[in-house]
Chains A and B, each alone.
Chain A
Amino acid sequence: MITITKQKPLEEILPSLGKGKKVYIIGCGTCATICHTGGKAEVLEMKEKLEAEGKKVTGWMVIPTACDELTREALAENAEAIEQADAILVMSCAFGVQTVTMYSDKAVYPALNTLFVGKEETPGHFIEVCMQCGNCVLATTVGICPLVRCAKSLLNGPCGGSVDGKCEVSPDTPCAWQLIYDRLKALGQLDKMEEIVPVRDWSTSTSGGPRRFVLTDETND
């Protein structure tokens, strides 16, 4: 599982940095490195681009895992160069951006779009398989998530747009419900498709404010 990111266009990054001339760049050695969006090579490339646009880069670092607690220490170790900057540009997923925000008083800006939490299907091809809905239905859908993989998050089988195994939205997207159907058929459990799945409780995925969870002794009872 990695967080899939894509670089924002420079035309969006530059104005977001505002008038500030001096920038400190932070990359991430984990997901953003795998995605080739915020590893050492990309950080250095960004440094060049910013300098070409008249910015001064006061320093840079690639934190092993930007979303980790150790980011606080990395920021402290590099406090001098960071202090000189007007802004920090973070080339990690939004978790890393927000972690830096938590531990620094500087203005922090994202250089990447966080697309989704996914997996690498084949080299360079990433796919979303779970949106952390908080109320997993994989038990009834034989391990294939309809919430994410069906374009309409349907729970009661394929819509009328499913043709030749493809989703109506794109010939490149398999219909999630065809996948589920085929697997249920192979397992001799097609009767599961006949049951009506009642309306879903979405409050676990879209409650007010950030979702939180506290570990307690009873958590896993």
Chain B
Amino acid sequence: MKAGTNLEKVLESGRFAVTAEAGPPKGTSAAVMQRKAEALRHCCDAANVTDNQTAIVRMSSLAGCVIMKQGGVDPVMQIVCRDRNRIAIQSDVLGAVALGIGNILCLSGDHQMFGNHPTAKNVFDIDSIQLIQALKAMRDEQKFLCGDDISGEVPLFIGAVANPYADPFEFRVARLAKKVKAGAEFIQTQAVYDIDKFAKWMEMVVERGLDKQTHILAGVIPIKSAGMARYMRDYVSGVTVPDELVTRMEQAQDTKVEGAKVAVEIIEQVKEIPGIHGVHIMAVGWEDIVPEIVKQAGLLPRPVL
């Protein structure tokens, strides 16, 4: 065990893991996070707390993680490279460990032009792969990036993301390999809608033996409405939503019921793909639906380890 978090235990035991996502509020309410923890506690093994996702200012991931933990959910702290340099990031990692957070997910971060402070200066001092490397060295060698010693242990379970739908397609497996080599122990993918393309990517992943070196969780974003389906298809960078899905949502009587059904179908399909060790359900702003989806997918109860 690297950090002994619930997520690590579930994955290392060979069980099919379920993670969810909890977006912190654009405000100061701890109650909002507590409610999300309540909704997610029994239906997932860990929950990611996003780090100013899409560059919109929200409560910090670190604070959100602490509240999730108090609410009985194993938190995954997301760190993006957009807003903090190596000094701030390493300092946050120390604080996170001190507060009992063990899972960290490394991302580049959406460009600030998409958010609510498009005139901000970005940082990108280090990139996501270098961040993984840094966390690994903090844990395994107890050293900062500069080589100085860290006092105390830094037990971390290190995660990263992968987007099989981004280009160049052939490089996406190589990029995953780089992340694994850097030290990523679990991977959460971009939302899967186009199963064939995802399966093709996974085939290449398995061919390289990467599924044996890291745990890959397929991303699932439940779609709430036809409008959301269209928006995701047309405007969200790096997501591929097939036209048939948009049509299906447009024709649905009750789009929420249909959206949950689609999510369940996706989970059932990705579960059958060799090398997939779990699913990551990103229902940001619609966390209440997660228990229902997990239940319908036959993934309840969650293991207690």
Chain A residue contacts of B178, Cβ below 8 A: 156-157, 194, 196
Asked if residues A158 and B237 are in contact (CB atoms below 8 Å), the reply is: no
B205 at the interface (CB under 8 A from A): no
With the chains together, A156 CA to B166 CA distance in Å?
Answer: 15
A24 to chain B, nearest CB (A): 34
Most buried by B among A158, A159, A193: A159
Most buried by A among B108, B111, B127, B128: B127
Report the nearest A residue to B81, measured CB to CB.
A152
Asked if residues A168 and B238 are in contact (CB atoms below 8 Å), the reply is: yes
B252 to chain A, nearest CB (A): 27
B182 at the interface (CB under 8 A from A): yes
Asked if residues B166 and A152 are in contact (CB atoms below 8 Å), the reply is: no
Most buried by A among B81, B86, B111, B171: B171
Contact of B124 among A153, A157, A164, A197 (CB under 8 A): A153
- B residues 108-132 touching A (CB-CB < 8 Å): 108-111, 113, 122, 124-130
B197 at the interface (CB under 8 A from A): no
- Beyond A164-B167, A178-B167, whether A158 also contacts B175 by CB under 8 A is yes
Asked if residues B168 and A178 are in contact (CB atoms below 8 Å), the reply is: yes
B163 at the interface (CB under 8 A from A): yes
Contact with B along A143-161 (1 / 0, CB 8 A): 0000000011111111111
B150 to chain A, nearest CB (A): 16
Chain B residue contacts of A165, Cβ below 8 A: 167
Report the nearest A residue to B145, measured CB to CB.
A199
Contact of A199 among B110, B134, B171, B175 (CB under 8 A): B134
Asked if residues A158 and B166 are in contact (CB atoms below 8 Å), the reply is: yes
B82 at the interface (CB under 8 A from A): yes
Q: Main secondary structure on chain A at its contact with chain B?
A: loop
Asked if residues B190 and A160 are in contact (CB atoms below 8 Å), the reply is: yes
A163 at the interface (CB under 8 A from B): yes
Asked if residues A168 and B175 are in contact (CB atoms below 8 Å), the reply is: no
Report the nearest B residue to A191, measured CB to CB.
B174
Report the nearest A residue to B113, measured CB to CB.
A169
Asked if residues A175 and B167 are in contact (CB atoms below 8 Å), the reply is: yes
Count of B interface residues, CB-CB < 8 Å: 36
B50 at the interface (CB under 8 A from A): no
Most buried by B among A157, A160, A202: A160
Chain B residue contacts of A158, Cβ below 8 A: 166-168, 171, 175
A33 to chain B, nearest CB (A): 31
Count of A interface residues, CB-CB < 8 Å: 30
A60 at the interface (CB under 8 A from B): no
Asked if residues A152 and B171 are in contact (CB atoms below 8 Å), the reply is: no
With the chains together, A61 CA to B160 CA distance in Å?
Answer: 58
A124 at the interface (CB under 8 A from B): no
- Beyond A154-B124, A162-B167, A198-B130, whether A168 also contacts B174 by CB under 8 A is no
A181 at the interface (CB under 8 A from B): yes
Report the nearest A residue to B162, measured CB to CB.
A160
Chain A residue contacts of B82, Cβ below 8 A: 152
- Beyond A168-B238, A181-B168, whether A155 also contacts B130 by CB under 8 A is yes
Report the nearest B residue to A169, measured CB to CB.
B111
Chain A residue contacts of B61, Cβ below 8 A: none
Contact of A151 among B111, B181, B182, B190 (CB under 8 A): B111
Contact of A162 among B124, B166, B181, B182 (CB under 8 A): B166
Contact of A161 among B129, B182, B238 (CB under 8 A): B238
Contact with A along B127-166 (1 / 0, CB 8 A): 1111001100000000001000000000000000111011
Asked if residues A168 and B110 are in contact (CB atoms below 8 Å), the reply is: yes
With the chains together, A154 CA to B124 CA distance in Å?
Answer: 7
A122 to chain B, nearest CB (A): 25
Contact with A along B173-191 (1 / 0, CB 8 A): 0110110011000000010
With the chains together, A67 CA to B161 CA distance in Å?
Answer: 48
Report the nearest B residue to A155, measured CB to CB.
B127
Chain B residue contacts of A193, Cβ below 8 A: 171, 174
- Beyond A153-B124, A154-B124, A199-B145, whether A163 also contacts B238 by CB under 8 A is yes
With the chains together, A159 CA to B181 CA distance in Å?
Answer: 17
15 interchain pairs (CB within 8 A)? Answer: A152-B111, A155-B130, A156-B130, A156-B178, A157-B129, A157-B174, A157-B178, A158-B168, A160-B166, A163-B166, A163-B167, A168-B110, A168-B237, A182-B168, A199-B145
Which A positions have Cβ atoms within 8 angstroms of B?
151-165, 168-169, 175, 178, 181-182, 190, 193-194, 196-200, 202
Known: A169-B113, A199-B130, A202-B125. 8 other contacts (CB 8 A): A152-B127, A156-B130, A160-B108, A160-B190, A162-B166, A181-B168, A193-B174, A194-B177
Report the 6 A-B pairs with minimum CB-CB distance, sorted nearest first.
Answer: A160-B163, A168-B237, A156-B129, A161-B237, A159-B108, A160-B238
